[in-house]
Amino acid sequence: MIRTEELLLNVGPQHPSTHGVFRIIVKLDGEIITEATPVMGYLHRGTEKLAENLNFTQIIPYTDRMDYVSAMTNNYVLVHAVEKMMGLEVPERAEFLRLIVMELQRVASHMVWWGTYLLDIGALSPFLYAFSDRERILQLFNELCGARLTYNYMRVGGVKWDAPEGWIDRVKQFVRDMKTKLLEYDDLASGNEILLSRIKGVGTYDAQTAIDYGLSGANLRSTGVKWDLRKNEPYSLYSRFEFDVPVGKNGDCYDRYLVRMEEMRQSLRILEQALEQFPEGGETMGKVPRVIRPPVGEIYVRIESPRGEIGCYIVSKGKAEPFRLKFRRPSFVNLQILPKLLVGESMTNLVTILGGIDIVLGEVDC
């Protein structure tokens, strides 16, 4: 007789496919997962606790380190929350710069996702293409604020640095190039039969489940729910631009893939319009009190990060430091559905499904 038993397998925390230090303990029956228990906290730095002893300008670099693949949107959610609380006006040029860097960041972030996702599944070359394009965005950011990853670019009331000479033209050039590149990437991968067989129909859930689990971003939209905060609860200048919100139908990994690919095209569309309308001159910092003290009260502000709804809840007691600062991190919330999706899947699909959710561990653990 063949002896069979359940196998307990530990994946991570040091595993390339977990995109950071994520650990998951899976119970296997043959190759089929019967139970999955995620373990987190390896990257927990206590950002929220640290923030309670820092003033708001000092907290901005900490937000860079949450979702380090998309630091610009993290910057924005914090400064936007404080500005809203204090009723500050942001000069138009600064707001344009913010919007441009956020959309560039979205493309860069999705490019990282696209490259690493295909790498997870076994395609090496897309990763190299993706990172060379992302490199161009990082260089643009580097010219703008002197950093490649953790920018610390935005400030309460504006942005730290104005665009250098010729920067806008270089972004325009990039947008033009990127549009053709995206077509190339679709040719290269999107219709690839091996890719389709790996991700089509894998990790499927319906709209109701997605809403129940509070999923956001492409994870929610892949089920057909048309919910994008840039459209539904417009912030910044998004209401001025034309763009579509791509949605999927089946809620599987393939639809998530397609939604993200389309989102990049829409971001480029927004960028084209924003660069066209970019104001000639003007301030990049609004009138801000020397010490930033939001009035007593609380606020919850949310924006659409590449990974979904990133939120910032501030409780202020009128001091320069927040009394309580809580971030709603989309990766953390989106990851909750993973154990449910994995049950009954084969071990091979673990990486496919995890990659499809698109998490950044710095944000999960915060």
Partner 1 sequence: MSEEEKQEGARPEGARAEGAQPEGVRAEGAQPEGVRAEGARPKAEEKKQTEGSPAEAEAPVRRKETDEEKAARRKAAFEAREAAKAAAAMAAAQAAKEAANAAASAPAAAHSAAPGAASADGQAPPGAPGAASPGAAAGAAPGSSRPGVAADAAPPPPPPSPNRPRLDRAVQLLRELVAEDAVEEAEINEPNDHLPTIVVKNERWSEAARLFRSHPELNTNYLRNVSGVDHETHMEVVYHLLSLDSGHGYALKVRTDRDTPQVASATPVWQTANWNEREIYDLLGIDFPGHPDLRRIMMPDDWVGHPLRKDYAPLDSEV
Minimum CB separation from partner 1 for residue 2, in Å? 34
Site string for partner 1, 24-53 (x = CB under 8 A): ----------------xx-xxxx-xx----
Please count the residues of the chain: 366
Stretch that binds partner 1, among 91-99, 187-195, 261-269, 334-342 (CB under 8 A): 334-342
Q: What is the 3-state secondary structure (H, E, C) of 252-290?
A: CHHHHHHHHHHHHHHHHHHHHHHHHHCCCCCCCECCCCC
Residue type, 258: L
Nearer to partner 1, 147 or 196 (CB): 147
Measured in Å, how far apart are the chain's first and last C-alpha atoms?
50
Question: Closer CB to partner 1, residue 32 or residue 299?
Answer: 299
* DSSP string computed for 142-167: HHHHS-SS----EETTEESSPPPTTH
Q: Which x/- pattern, by CB under 8 A, does the window 231-260 give for partner 1? A: -xx---------------------------
**4: how many CB neighbours lie within 10 A of its CB?**
8
87 binds partner 1 (CB under 8 A): yes
Site string for partner 1, 288-307 (x = CB under 8 A): --xx---x-xxxxxx-----
CA distances, 124 to each of 117, 120, 121, 172, 305 (Å): 10, 9, 9, 29, 27
**Which of 305, 301, 302 is CA-nearest to residue 315?**
301
* Residues forming the site for partner 1 (CB under 8 A): 20-21, 40-41, 43-46, 48-49, 54-55, 57-58, 61-62, 64-65, 68, 84-85, 87, 127, 131, 138, 148-150, 152, 211-214, 225, 227, 232-233, 290-291, 295, 297-302, 309, 311, 313, 315, 320, 323-324, 326, 328, 332-333, 335-337, 360-362, 365-366
